[in-house]
Structure 1
Amino acid sequence: MPESEHTITVAGVAQVAGVAVDTRHWIGGERVASAGTFTDVSPIDGTTLGEIARGTPAEADAAVAAATAAFPGWAATPREERARVLRAIADGVDKRVEELAIVETTDNGALLRSHRRGVMPRVAHNFRFFADRLLTLGHADFETRGHTNHVTWDPAGPCALITPWNAPLMLESWKVAPALAAGNTVVLKPAEWTPLTASLLADVAAHAGLPAGVLNVVQGYGSEIGDALTAHPDVRRISFTGSVPTARRIAASAAPQLTPTSFELGGKSPLLVFADADLGLAVDLAVEQYDNAGQVCLAATRVLVEEPIAEEFVRRFTDKARRLRQGDPRDDSTDLGPTIHPRQLEKIDGFVRRAVAAGARAVVGGHRVAERYYAPTLLTDVDQDAEIVQEEVFGPVLTLQTFRDENEAVRLANGTRFGLAATLATGDPARADRVTARLVAGTVWVNCFFVRDLQAPFGGSRRSGVGREGGTWSFDFFCDLKNTVTAPKGWQGHG
């Protein structure tokens, strides 16, 4: 699109590809400015998208106060009405899919076609799913010596939700929808690199009839406003998706109040390819790990291939990876968009340069492409204890190691501090059962990748997270579970 149509910024509003986005906070049902701002820049071409209200502890306090004031009314709202409002939010997302998609692509650089066809419809689905699950939430009563046990999921209170930049609105809805369905109120802090669709979500929710103060959106840096939220004594739940160091900081901040926390953190997931696998499928699965320019926590960045097929696998992979098109994510022919930020690009390049200096060989890529892109990269000749194998790069960089048998494959696969996901390619169902039983991972895919269902638990083991999201697991976190025990009618005495 022409540069003149890209963005126009006026006081408090950014016009992104013709879509007006308010750049102020959303607190207590009103737009609120801050004394300072920070600049939001598109990763596509470095264009300034807007000057965003830069929150301080004062805005954090105001947002928590608004959420606290709104909590009793929303918690007392019947389930059916809460579900109706969530479905209305989903309808609002559906009506604005095109606007949300172009704003998100402009703000975070992911493919526009993916946002149109998959991501934004998934956002709407998230709200509908938790609305439906709310209406079926329950546990059958059970008896204890004639006494009736009745389990309920009670709203917990104001929740602080802190989300990352790689899939902003989808991951925001993944937290906001169950928190609201549970009867809680929310203070959402989006990542400072991608704040725009969170602001649009506030508009959609208000139009859907969500009462003022039930959803609040505050923008800014973690060190300036995030800490104020996570240490706040009136916040009753904290859900965070992001890095391990930030999670440690949040845990320390929440500890004095014993605020329950849920963390979905980094990954260094393996893709195990056995000699009996469909090799074409295995290569496709490996190349798929470059999705979103490798900025996916679930990506299987460690490719482990059985020795007899390693040479042929590399040949086929190299041929396919070199045909990927990098460029403007708004172009339907593009396969990989830009890296989110120059700082992230420098981090990725640093990992690769250090790996090559230590003896790794780049059979594909291994270098920057223009100013904002990193070439899809495959590194071989890497040791298990190498930094590039052990640490999350969060870019389009894969490593390849070989193994001789199942035991070695499992040892290599489990040989990091992470445990978010794993992918397995094999033609032997018995082998699949044996290997998956031994893998340390929150999700394992067999001969497929990225198939996600909200009914399933999602989360990581080891340093990949604490807790599970999805289905009833989300309600378990966002609620206070209560068991009420009632004596039989007319019963006297004590248990």
Structure 2
Amino acid sequence: MTDGRRDASELTLPVHPVDFRAGAARRFGVLSPFDGLIVESVPNTDARVLAASFSDALRAADRLHSTEGVQERLRSWARRIDVRREQLARIISVETGKPIRFSRVEVEASLELLHACCARQSVRLHREWTPAQAAFSIQNWCDPILTTVSEAAGVLSSGRALVIKPSSRAPLASLALAALWKHGDDLDALFCVAPSSDAVGMLRASLTTPRVTEVRFRGSRDVGTFVTRSCQEAAMPVTVFPDQQLPLVLYALDNVDAQCDAVVNAVLIRPVPSVAERVSCVYVHDHIADTVIAALCEKLSQLRVGDPLADETDIGPVIDDVAVALLSDHVEDALFSGARLPGAHLEIAGKTIRPLILDEVKSFMRICSEDREGPILPVIRFSDPLELPDTTCLTIQSRLSKTTEGDCGAASIRQSAQCAPHLF
């Protein structure tokens, strides 16, 4: 409910009801992962304010007779986003640490998704016997523009209202999109972003609000399980979009340089998720492992780490100190269990971590089985296809053109890693 892989810490926070409309507004600061400075402070929404937001949203939805007006508003929203795409990209980079050129790809992907949604035909809504409904969405900090646009386009196009609780680490992008949504008319209330550091209180409030008919969650598997269980106990429909981690298999080398570029793109350089999967580890056949690891070490040494707002940066900082501690813990656990760091050591400067490879990793290690953040590439060596996991794997295509910096976008990643069974 906060930051994807470390949401659980927010589950223990108590509910502190505060009435914003009585003038006693609380706020919390949004910190830059790069330098730790406060970027901006935002309202810390409480349960009563959330209930008022739902009431306004449902009244707006009650007035809809078709989705035609919503579709037109989505088209206007897309035009406004297009005009401010650079500003939105900078917001993503500042609050999440994603390198600016990848943030630009995220905004572009969001616009493509929104244009596709706008092309749909409007539908008539039968409000005389079907009451308006609302959905409550809890989001993590990853890809904030893309996930907000995706949620809004999907829910609003069905004639429902939507209230989003963004990550407390990265609420600014969603708030910026909410500001671009507003035109000063009845449709404004259909879409609301309510930042809060009290995820549990927000969830409880949504579960007890009449005509909220769905809770949606994007984030870590552990917190997704918590949200699902809470919704089931309240008999509330829930839609969870968990991060899916799949192994990537490399078993033949037609072009070492190109395929290692593709591995780096698939694992470390992710402007937007490729087919919604993240790589848990890389399986490399024994007979090519030494060659591959040497080439990958060389590739990683060339990656530029630093300020996410610099155009040349490849790897920005991780989101917070908890991510740093978790990554360090994963590396220490792997080394203790027999993994090794070939020709490198863990370099941490604040929240900036130099990318590295962990060799001779085993599938049971925490770095493979748990959600993780950070520029770490775990490599598992295998000698027989039977040693591969009995699940779907990602595979690097047998022939790839050499990846260039300009190719480090969503299309490049989709070309360099495809979802398929392992090919043996």
2:424 paired with 1:448? no
2:74 paired with 1:86? yes
- 1:330 aligns with 309
Paired residues of 2:89 and 2:103 also in contact (CA < 8 A): yes
Paired residues of 1:244 and 1:266 also in contact (CA < 8 A): yes
1:136-185 per-residue CA deviation (whole Å, 9 max, x = no partner) reads 99xxxxxxxxxxxxxxxx89710111111021111111111111111110
2:41 paired with 1:51? yes
**1:408–1:132 distance in 2 versus 1, CA, 3 Å:** same
- 2:189 aligns with 213
Structure 1 unpaired stretches of 5+: 1-29, 138-153, 429-444, 452-495
- 1:123 aligns with 110
Aligned partners of 2:87, 2:362: CA distance in 1, in Å? Answer: 46
- 2:9 aligns with none
- 2:269 aligns with 291
**1:95–1:356 distance in 2 versus 1, CA, 3 Å:** same
1:87 Cα deviation from its structure 2 partner? 0.8
Question: How do residues 276-355 of structure 1 correspond to structure 2 at under 5 angstroms?
Answer: 277-288=254-265, 289-291=267-269, 298-355=277-334
2:220 paired with 1:243? yes
Q: 1:253 aligns with which of 230, 240, 257?
A: 230
- 1:391 aligns with 370
- 2:336 aligns with 357
2:55 paired with 1:65? yes
- 2:87 aligns with 99
Q: Aligned partner of 1:207: which letter?
A: H
Aligned partners of 2:385, 2:414: CA distance in 1, in Å? Answer: 15
Paired residues of 2:320 and 2:351 also in contact (CA < 8 A): yes
Segments of 4+ moved more than 6 angstroms: 30-33, 293-297
- 1:157 aligns with 133
**1:265–1:366 distance in 2 versus 1, CA, 3 Å:** farther
2:164 partner SS:
strand
Aligned partners of 2:361, 2:163: CA distance in 1, in Å? Answer: 43
**1:396–1:330 distance in 2 versus 1, CA, 3 Å:** same
Paired residues of 1:275 and 1:308 also in contact (CA < 8 A): no
Paired residues of 1:43 and 1:372 also in contact (CA < 8 A): yes
The higher radius of gyration belongs to 1
1:208 Cα deviation from its structure 2 partner? 8.7
1:373 Cα deviation from its structure 2 partner? 0.9
Paired residues of 1:295 and 1:396 also in contact (CA < 8 A): no
Structure 2 unpaired stretches of 5+: 1-19, 125-129, 400-412, 420-424
Aligned partners of 2:22, 2:203: CA distance in 1, in Å? Answer: 17
1:182-214 per-residue CA deviation (whole Å, 9 max, x = no partner) reads 111010111000011111111111139671320
Paired residues of 2:61 and 2:132 also in contact (CA < 8 A): no
| TM-score between both structures, scaled by the size of structure 1 | 0.70
- 1:479 aligns with none
Q: 2:27 aligns with which of 20, 27, 37?
A: 37
Aligned partners of 2:262, 2:120: CA distance in 1, in Å? Answer: 32
- 1:477 aligns with none
1:338 partner SS:
coil
**1:236–1:370 distance in 2 versus 1, CA, 3 Å:** same
Paired residues of 1:34 and 1:55 also in contact (CA < 8 A): no
**1:236–1:359 distance in 2 versus 1, CA, 3 Å:** same
Aligned partners of 2:342, 2:368: CA distance in 1, in Å? Answer: 16
1:259-305 per-residue CA deviation (whole Å, 9 max, x = no partner) reads 22111113332111122554333211221111259999733131001
Greater shift after overlay, 260-269 or 337-346?
260-269
Q: Aligned partner of 1:64: which letter?
A: F
**1:102–1:360 distance in 2 versus 1, CA, 3 Å:** same
Identity %: 23
**1:220–1:264 distance in 2 versus 1, CA, 3 Å:** same
**1:379–1:321 distance in 2 versus 1, CA, 3 Å:** same
**1:110–1:66 distance in 2 versus 1, CA, 3 Å:** same
1:382 partner SS:
coil
Paired residues of 1:230 and 1:250 also in contact (CA < 8 A): no
2:396 paired with 1:425? yes
Aligned partners of 1:356, 1:44: CA distance in 2, in Å? Answer: 27
Paired residues of 1:105 and 1:329 also in contact (CA < 8 A): yes
1:426-449 per-residue CA deviation (whole Å, 9 max, x = no partner) reads 539xxxxxxxxxxxxxxxx98623
1:98-144 per-residue CA deviation (whole Å, 9 max, x = no partner) reads 2111122111111112223x11122222222112134599xxxxxxx
Aligned partners of 1:270, 1:212: CA distance in 2, in Å? Answer: 43
Aligned partners of 2:44, 2:355: CA distance in 1, in Å? Answer: 35
Paired residues of 2:282 and 2:377 also in contact (CA < 8 A): yes
Q: Aligned partner of 1:167: which letter?
A: D
Task: Report how many residues are paired.
Answer: 379
Q: 1:189 aligns with which of 162, 165, 169?
A: 165
Q: 2:144 aligns with which of 143, 148, 168?
A: 168
1:41 Cα deviation from its structure 2 partner? 0.7
Aligned partners of 2:272, 2:112: CA distance in 1, in Å? Answer: 25
Which protein has the bigger strand share? Answer: 1
**1:275–1:325 distance in 2 versus 1, CA, 3 Å:** same
